[in-house]
Amino acid sequence: MSTTRNRLETVSARHDRLERVAVELSGNPVDCPLAGLRPLPAPARRKWLHELSSEELEYLAAYHRGCYFEKMAAMFR
């Protein structure tokens, strides 16, 4: 049971982290899969994110990390 609980807490923590990073960055590139999420009110964002499967959440988190690192690298060129 504790393994299931830890996994659920991890998924919940990932939802929360993705919500924070989805809205804290400046700009909203139209090609970003989170572009439509950013203008939504906080309750709607939370609802949408918490309906994602683990696979969808992992994809969005990986996409966001890649985009973030590309932008950071471009700043130092």
Q: Where are the domains of the chain?
A: 2-75
pLDDT score for 16:
76
- Under-70 pLDDT residues of the chain: 1-9, 21-27
The CA-atom distances, in angstroms, between 54 and each of 1, 26, 70, 73 are 19, 26, 24, 28
Count other Cβ atoms within 10 Å, centred on residue 13. 10
pTM of the model: 0.64
CB 14 within 8 A of CB 61: yes
pLDDT score for 1:
45
